[in-house]
Amino acid sequence: MGSFSTMHWLIVLVIVALVFGTKKLGSFGSDLGSAIKGFKDGIREAEAEPVSEAEKAPAVALRDTQETQATPKQ
């Protein structure tokens, strides 16, 4: 009950090609490729987006607090 050999995988691929047909397998491959490409593009866009104002607000508030603490009151 070890792993399959190369000959077993070739037989499985031939059976799958006979059952589904090469046209369906080709369209499945192209659909899968376009889905992966779309996912990668989405990741790139998400990384390229600037930080929103809501995410900047805590840093600005912290900086303002530090500045007011550093200046002496008169």
Q: Where are the domains of the chain?
A: 22-70
Is the pLDDT at 66 greater than 60, yes or no? no
Query: For residue 8, what pLDDT is reported?
Result: 93
CA distances from residue 35 to 40, 42, 43, 71 in whole angstroms, order as listed: 9, 11, 12, 56
Residue 25: Cβ within 10 Å count: 14
Q: In the predicted model, what is the mean pLDDT of residues 39-67?
A: 69
Share of the chain above pLDDT 90, in %: 26
pLDDT single digits (tens) 4-35: 799 999 999 899 888 888 888 888 889 999 99
Pull the structure tokens for residue 56.
């900047």
CA 24 vs. chain centroid, Å, equals 26
pTM score: 0.44
